[in-house]
Amino acid sequence: MNLIKKTQKEQLKERLQKEIPELKKSGWKKFHIDLLKKHFTFYIGLVNSKIIPKNDEQKQFIETVKNWKTAKPKNVHEEIYLKYMKFYEKKNLENKNKKEIEDPVFKNIPKYPPGTMPYSREMREKLETEYEGESWDSWFDDWKYR
């Protein structure tokens, strides 16, 4: 069996390919989806500072994305990426409401590995109970006179 580690760029493209039917279902135009597919990794690289902006348009893109909730897009690229960010946030909020999210990396890892399971409420109450302190002398005297 030959294992090949996928690059982050390939993983992003694969994730976008899986999301395209959802984008079409939510009313995206074919032109916007094609532009997003073409420039998606470039957008992510700019936003994550892996690609250094070379002109004012790219710097403006980064500023717009930083203020994405209130920003007004000034060109098609900003409009597409902001729309995608809102789609992605909405999708993740829906996934948070589900009890179990299927994640290929972490699905086999138990939630609480041995030794890290939290105490039950009853046990925490027992541990937090304060006892009346006894000195060594009173305890020793009690045993001495029995």
Helix axes 76-97, 8-25, angle to 10 degrees: 90
pLDDT tens-digit profile of 93-123?
766 655 555 666 666 667 777 778 888 888 8
Higher-scoring residue by pLDDT: 146, 63: 63
Q: What is the pLDDT of residue 1?
A: 37
pLDDT tens-digit profile of 17-33?
989 999 999 888 999 98
pLDDT band at 16 (very low <50, low <70, confident <90, very high): confident
Q: Are 45 and 39 in contact (CB under 8 A)?
A: no
Q: What is the pTM of this model?
A: 0.59
